[in-house]
Amino acid sequence: MNRERKTILVVEDEDEIGSNMNAMLTRKGYRVVRTSDADGALRAAEEDRPDMILTDLDLPTLDSMILRIRAHETLKEMVIAVIDINHPELKDGLKILNNFDELDQLLNPTAQS
């Protein structure tokens, strides 16, 4: 797929899961920035301006991160997505993805799969 390289901010508190997400996304051609909590996510989002924040529903600081991003003047429209194969629906402003392949469609809605 020929596309401008997109940046995904992975917010994951479990290092092994974060490493696996990083490896998968890098293989798919994305630039990955990683952090483990809401404070780090806000800093990284301000500095790197990622195309998406990707996290999990079990992140202890998930609610805080969402509130802070949505209240931030320049970050409030940023896409926040969660990969969860059990609940693939839009929920509380989060896009729940079935798998990593859905990232391409979310970040490049006009691209053909």
Domain residue spans in the chain?
A: 7-107
CATH class name, domain 7-107: alpha beta
Nearest residue to 28 (alpha-carbon basis) of 47, 45, 3: 3
Q: Where are the alpha helices (DSSP H) in 52-113?
A: 62-71, 102-107
Q: Contact, 60 vs 16, CB < 8 A?
A: no
Angle between helices 62-71 and 38-48 (to 10 degrees): 40
pTM of the model: 0.78
Model pLDDT for residues 78-112, shown as the tens digit of each residue: 989 887 655 555 455 566 676 677 777 777 766 55
- Strands 90-91 and 94-97, bridge-based pairing: antiparallel
